[in-house]
Amino acid sequence: MKATYFKYQLQFKLASGTSRGILTHKDTWFIQIELNSLKGIGECGMFKGLSIDDRPDFETKLAWVCENIDLGLEVLLADLVEFPAIQFGLEMAFQSIKQKSLFELFPSDFTNGKNSIPINGLIWMGDKRFMKQQIKDKLALDFSCIKLKIGAIDFDKELELIKSIRNEFDAQTIEIRVDANGAFKPNEALEKLKRLSDYKLHSIEQPIQQGQPYEMSKLCAETPLPIALDEELIGVFSVTNKEILLQTIMPQYIILKPTLVGGFKGSQEWIDIAESKDIGWWVTSALESNVGLNAIAQWTYTLESQLPQGLGTGGLFTNNIQAPLVVDSGQLFYDQKTKWNLKF
């Protein structure tokens, strides 16, 4: 078996605002495996400033993996606990080899074009005018669930935006999720959640910064609005510690980003624990290219969740890899008529 890796820089069509600043590009890494006549590819989409494996030895570890690829997937995954993005890339590449298909990793009614995955429409942070235009665009595309990133502009202005949506569309017509990315201070969070709850929102992601389990636990117990943990899950490696975190906080939902929490295996561990405690969940991409998004989407479909998933980021980049992933009417489809165009 032979393995190589290389870096690729994705360029945003528009500078995109997040709680970590304005993004103009996103670095990602691809690992390629060859076994006899078979080839596999995986994406290691480490997210600078967010991923636990954003560390100086990331590429050194990738090179080590390629040199030791004959150790096999299970041994490598065990050694890569602190490198979830590399774990995920390896899972993808090995699954590709297993299926003898570069991109159809989990054959299903999704990959054969017979079914689709409901997704939310993502509204990026920015000034009120920019966010309002995005909302109009998503509603014009028939999304029934939208997700707003909040915390970048004045809170009252963000409430006005949400109110303007609710004035036109009730909760049965449009589901609204918000993502605070830890923007609220613990002593102000509950009051802000009460004000947000006036607009019948589905949920809020990570209202306060991660790493404050007892404050988050208290908030989840008192909140008038369902809370979803996101960044809180990053860097929690063992099943025991995952169990302790969810038992301590008892959120209403958790959000799985395979690139950030250890790929399919790490995500499934979170799901199993959450379901044992009646905690809801959904899956979200983390600005991967269409190679990573494709793997996440195919795996997510096999989980049979009825909730809208966060899988609609593939169209953000000017130089993304052409793929059969198509968004239409708030659904992600796999269009077999569209061919992959993997040119590096």
| Residue 7 is a catalytic residue | no
**Strand ranges for 19-101 from DSSP E:** 21-35, 38-44
- How far apart CA 289 and CA 326 sit, in angstroms, is 14
> Could you tell me if 274 and 26 are in contact, meaning their C-beta atoms sit under 8 angstroms apart?
no
Contact partners, residue 318, CB within 8 Å, separation at least 6: 11, 12, 13
The pair of three-digit structure tokens given for residue 283, joined into one six-digit string: 């899956």
Q: Which of 26, 61, 138, 149 is catalytic?
A: 149
Q: Which of 257, 277, 337, 343 is catalytic?
A: 257
Render the burial of 186-207: b for 16+ CB within 10 Å, e for the rest: eeebbebbeebeebebbbbbbb
Amino acid at 71: L
- Tally the C-alpha atoms within 13 A of residue 295's C-alpha that lie toward its C-beta: 29
Decide: residue 235, CB within 10 A, 0-12 exposed, 13-18 middle, 19+ buried.
Answer: middle
> Could you tell me if 150 and 176 are in contact, meaning their C-beta atoms sit under 8 angstroms apart?
no
- How far apart CA 41 and CA 278 sit, in angstroms, is 35
| Residue 61 is a catalytic residue | no
Contact partners, residue 137, CB within 8 Å, separation at least 6: none
- How far apart CA 344 and CA 331 sit, in angstroms, is 29
- How far apart CA 155 and CA 15 sit, in angstroms, is 22
Active site residues: 149, 257
